Amino acid sequence: MLKAIIVDANAVARGSLNTVLTDGGYGVAGQTHTGTLGLALALKHQPHIICIAREQIDDANDDGDVVTQLRARLPKTLIFMVSGTLDAPTIQQALARGVHGFIVKPFKADTVLRTIRNTVLAIVKKHRAP
């Protein structure tokens, strides 16, 4: 079972995404409301997937931005940015930072699970390519 961490300041969004992931067969190892605590949870649980709200990605802490730290310390973990709005510049900036995929609010369970599955499959396929 793939493990996930959820980082979002909105408790309702965390709960909804937790339900979607759990019902979809993922194990949610933890959830929190700040990027700093999300990083600590990620280092503790070593998840396969981190779903982190755009606000936490944009909110740099004293040690730099969370995605950069996650990429450096957990390079195999897939990072999904969660947001209610996505535009081309935001997507490009997130991809440049190391985000692997995007989950759009409000959550639609089948879309969230398909996004994660397709991203995992694309990464596996990329690593198997000669």
Q: Are 79 and 38 in contact (CB under 8 A)?
A: no
Q: Record the pTM.
A: 0.91
pLDDT of residue 59: 61
pLDDT of residue 32: 95
47-62 average pLDDT score: 81
**Domain count along the chain:** 1
Q: Which domain holds residue 109?
A: 3-128
* Higher per-residue pLDDT: 62 or 58: 58
CATH number at residue 86: 3.40.50.2300
pLDDT in tens, 14-36: 999 999 999 999 999 999 999 99
DSSP conformational letter for 61: B
Q: Are 48 and 3 in contact (CB under 8 A)?
A: yes
Distance CA 97, CA 8 (A): 18
* Higher per-residue pLDDT: 19 or 94: 19
pLDDT of residue 119: 93
